[in-house]
Structure 1
Amino acid sequence: MDQAPKGGYLSCNGSNGRHIGVIGAGMAGLRSAELLLRAGFQVTVIEGRDRLGGRTQQFRLPNGHEVDVGANWIHGAADNPLMELARETGTAVCSFDPMTSLVVDENGNLLPVEEGAEYSLMMWILFEKAFEYSREHTAEIDPSTSLLDFCRERVAEVVPGTDESFQKKRRILLQMCELWGNYVGSPIRGQSLKFFWLEESVEGENLFCAGTYRRILKKIAQPVVEGANILYQTRAVEIRGRSSGGVGVVTADGQTLEFDELIVTTPLGWLKQNLGAFRPSLPDRLAQAIQSIDYGSLEKVYISFPKAFWLTGDRTVNGFCHWLTPAYDLHKNPSRWANECLELGSLEGPNGHATLLFYINGEESSHVTSKVRCLTGPKEREEFLFSFFKPYYSRLPLYDENDPNCQPNGCMSTDWLSDDLAGNGSYSNFQIGLRQGDQDIVTMRAGVPAEGIWLAGEHTAPFTALGTVTGAYLSGEDVANRIIAVHREGAVGGF
């Protein structure tokens, strides 16, 4: 969202004389600020960027279409406040049938649609088994056991049999499972089985925000823009609690801001790197919780074409395309990172455009972002991205090296890994070795109310919404509600 002018103070119920500071103007910060304003508090939002939205942001591709560079899904449509906001704002959303996904095997061969659908179905069956096992046995699961360990152990239950063809099916299915990394932002081999149950989301479909999050963000931000004091391009370097002389913030430009309560909605990665900013130091258990939960590295790469060549004729592609641990691209991808993209050509109406959205994570994210970061101009960056992803898009149906419509003509790539305000990464998740993951979340969610320090963000969300935009929104709602309850009877919403 573009920078908005500073607003005055809005008090629907009259000012109650209390002043609340909110660090961060992402979904959690905006939602908490809105509810506090509605309850009659004065609110100052401290935002390090020159815009609102945090990791919810848009970019216009060379083909003229706007895309999300951060959040672009609504996870779990049932009883989801973001789904209601999408309806209110006329934001287009859509679902993709995993049974229509394309799968390219490790040798570069496009599997028949029916076979690819079978592997997609088996992959989700295996993950459902893992969810169930994790829920029921979390107390006894060894913290060092990974989700991949479980998949390897149980794959024979999904693909029974003993001859060579069954062994091949199991290998392909396990390669499909590696795509889970693009869901949580970290490779499956490092994901905790013990706390895999914390990755289950809100009930209902996962919907792609075809119309981008722009209108939803504007709707959420409007009351804050109109009613709060927003300090843009203002970074907090010291966060003070009551016992340090009063609740407040020292900013990078030397300001000292004082409040009655302070909500810190910075990403988990930022908290990990800035524990020393808190005065007094955070309680040991809270600091331990912050350091215990992992922080991901999900990045996006958009590559556009003159025409969605993959949709020509019988519209063979519709949704996701998967390239499994490629052995045919060892020069550019010696680690054989699996790749995945969502094709945007099949989106309905004006939202459709000839673009492939690649999701990458882990070491591949580090490799791609570091390479792009070192290149000096847009032409060089384009050439690198076109070349790096060509082994994958060139295996889509109807690709023709000599057809101009098959030659990419625009791209962009995210780089949250170099963004210190984003905590140099994206999305909390649960890694092997974790021993108290659920209690770590509860501890972060509690904050330090006695010091006037409260935490919010996707890392403090309800268990069914961790690591999602919905979770960030609900966490902001909850923390605002608890502050309201502290200062007077009654609250609005919450969980």
Structure 2
Amino acid sequence: MFDKKKTADKGEQPHIGVIGAGLAGLRCADILMQYGFKVTILEGRNRIGGRVHQVTLQNGHAVDLGPNWIHGTKDNPILDIATETKTETGSWDTRSYMFDESGALLSLEESERYASIMWSIIQDAFEYSNKHGGEITPDESLWDFFNREIVQRIPQSEDGHERARKMVLQVAEMWGAFVGSPIQTQSLKYFWLEECIEGENLFCAGTYQKILRSIAKPALDTADVKFEKVVSNISCRDGYQRKVRVQTKGDEVFEFDHVVLTAPLGWLKKNSRDAFDPPLPPRMVKAIDSLGYGCLEKTYITFPKAFWLDTVGGGRGVQGFCQWLSPAYANNNPRRWNQEVVDLASLPESSSHPTLLFYTFGDTSKFLTREVSELDSQEKKDAFLFDFFKPYYSRLPHYNDSSPECRPTGCLATDWLHDDLAGNGSYTNFQVGLENGDSDVEVLREGLADAGLWLAGEHTAPFVALGTATGAYWSGESAGRRIAEFYGFIRNRRSSD
């Protein structure tokens, strides 16, 4: 058995391998180097950041392909870094804008009512899940909770109750855009794990670019960062093998005293049975299999002018969030998937630009990414996306089909579903059938210390930050401190572990 104390007493510098240069890996490397470890980062891409990545649109503005938001403002280190780096954040007019299934823009009074009922049920579901999680059966969904609650919130005695109930349930389906999977499959038993840090949700108007640079600086300055090293196998330490051996697809082999694997949950799902020697413990494999993995995608569509905003003498406009509920008028959307957009023209002036950001999830994301991937030119891809989303942006106020200001000039769509290094999806979530969600996370978070294998990433984050950029950051910090504790460099773990 490897004697960590003997190594430390000899003054040897333990060598830690960090797999992945996303937020978790970069923060982990920083912590490890602060405790004097030698660190090598193996990154499969030719850049840092993982899902945190920016691309410049045709209008010259950079946008995030990964996280757009800073979830929660109370004791959030990502917000602190945003402030330090002068990264602009923003929020919108909180009013609700909705189009009904016929394509008519609802009055603010009506849409506000539906949104208010929806969010009050969400909040009650959090409380119910927290309080009664032990009694809720694994097959109960958030959708089941909504259908029970809606009859209490909108009684049959109310005029127009059928329409009102239907509208609230249609609004509720947009919960999928928060977790990357439909509300019908969201576990009620473990819905409490979706709660985030207290405070506002802020849009990262200035993108995550400067935040990423700040987090990455210690690693880029001091660690040995090796790009385009796609890991294929990890041979853990045992009674005969003192080192952890990491093999890449190029058949290179690296040896470390310990390894921190920050690959996404989706990657673990695909590789948990084949990439590890000896095999991972059954309880860890079960945890990987049990937790859900979403498919949240985004499409940016840019225009010459933000025609949808309220202008002087122009009448009503739309700002911030807007939803199209169960559209019956879109022939290219026969399953009537809801659509949701964020208006980037209403960001703070220095960051605003005439762009609509559409969020898609679940079957919509699968359909769009599949269809686009089969087209053989960027021109055809853009034309397909313009055509798919036109039934929605063409119903925004002040749209005129003959006006050049209303014709899209650029398009950018993500495709995490076809990205193997992203785990072919986006973000951990909690699906019906989940029996031990909290302990599943804890099993992954704990890792295999004696085998020299530690896990980090948003799927191992503190419960208040699962599935977020902040969670990824915290998870890397936690893994680094746990290794330092393993070597006896510190005695107590952070409270966020």
Q: Same fold (TM over 0.5)?
A: yes
Partners of 2:65 and 2:35 in 1: how far apart?
33
- Give the direction of change, closer, same or farther, for the CA distance of 1:295–1:19 in structure 2 (3 Å limit): same
Q: Does 1:68 align with 2:68?
A: no
1:87-486 aligned at under 5 Å gives the runs: 87-98=83-94, 100-243=95-238, 245=241, 246-275=243-272, 276-313=274-311, 316-329=317-330, 331-486=331-486
Q: Which residue of 2 aligns with 1:20?
A: 16
For 1:401 and 1:71, locate their aligned partners in 2 and report how far apart those are by CA, in whole Å: 33
1:16, 1:56 → 2: CA distance? 35
CA distance in 2 between partners of 1:76 and 1:37 (Å): 29
Q: What's the CA shift string for 1:141-196, capped at 9, x where partnerless? A: 11111111110110123223424511211110000000000000001111111100
Letter in 1 for 2:166: R
The alpha-carbon deviation at position 493 of structure 1 amounts to 5.1
Any stretches of 5+ residues in structure 2 without a counterpart? 1-10
Residues 328-387 of structure 1, C-alpha deviation per residue, up to 9 Å, x if partnerless? 11x211111111010001111221000000000011001101111111111111110110
Match of 1:80 among 71, 76, 85: 76
**Residue in 2 aligned with 1:7?**
none
1:43 is aligned to: 39
| C-alpha distance in structure 2 between counterparts of 1:164 and 1:252, whole Å | 65
Contact 1:478 1:494 in 2 (8 A): no
Identity fraction in percent: 51
The letter for the 1-side match of 2:267 is: W
For residues 427-481 of structure 1, the C-alpha deviation after alignment (integer angstroms, 9 at most, x for no partner) is 0000111111111011111111110100000000011100000000001111100
Alignment partner for residue 31 of structure 1, among 23, 27, 31? 27
- Asked if the contact 1:59/1:68 (under 8 Å) is kept, the reply is yes
Which one of 48, 55, 59 corresponds to residue 52 of structure 1? Answer: 48
Which residue is equivalent to 1:3?
A: none
Q: How far is 1:488 from its partner?
A: 2.5
Contact kept, 8 Å, 1:47 with 1:235, in 2: the verdict is yes
Provide structure 1 residue ranges, at least 5 long, that are not aligned to the other structure: 1-14
Q: TM-score w.r.t. structure 2 length?
A: 0.94
* TM-score normalised to structure 1 length: 0.95
CA distance in 1, matches of 2:450, 2:233: 18
Aligned equivalents of 2:157, 2:277: Cα separation in 1 = 62
**Would you say the 8 A contact 1:298–1:425 is kept in 2?**
yes
Alpha-carbon separation, structure 2, partners of 1:442 and 1:158: 37
| Aligned residue identity for 1:247 | V
AA at the equivalent of 2:286: Q
How many Å separate the matches in 1 of 2:121 and 2:151? 10
Contact 1:481 1:494 (8 Å CA) reproduced: no
CA contact (8 A) 1:325 1:336 kept: yes
Between the two proteins, the alignment pairs up a number of residues equal to: 479
Between the aligned partners of 1:52 and 1:46, the Cα distance in structure 2 is 10
Structure 2 contact 92–346 (Cα < 8 Å) conserved: no
CA contact (8 A) 1:33 1:480 kept: yes
Q: Which amino acid aligns with 2:299?
A: V
Do the aligned partners of 2:17 and 2:260 also contact (CA within 8 Å) in 1? Answer: yes
Quote the Cα distance in structure 1 between the aligned partners of 2:146 and 2:50: 35
d(CA) in 2 for partners of 1:427 and 1:122?
27
Q: Tell me the amino acid that sits aligned with residue 483 of structure 2.
A: I
Could you list the per-position Cα deviations for residues 390-446 of structure 1 after superposition, in whole angstroms to 9, with x for gaps in the alignment? 011011111111111111110010000000000000000001111111110111111
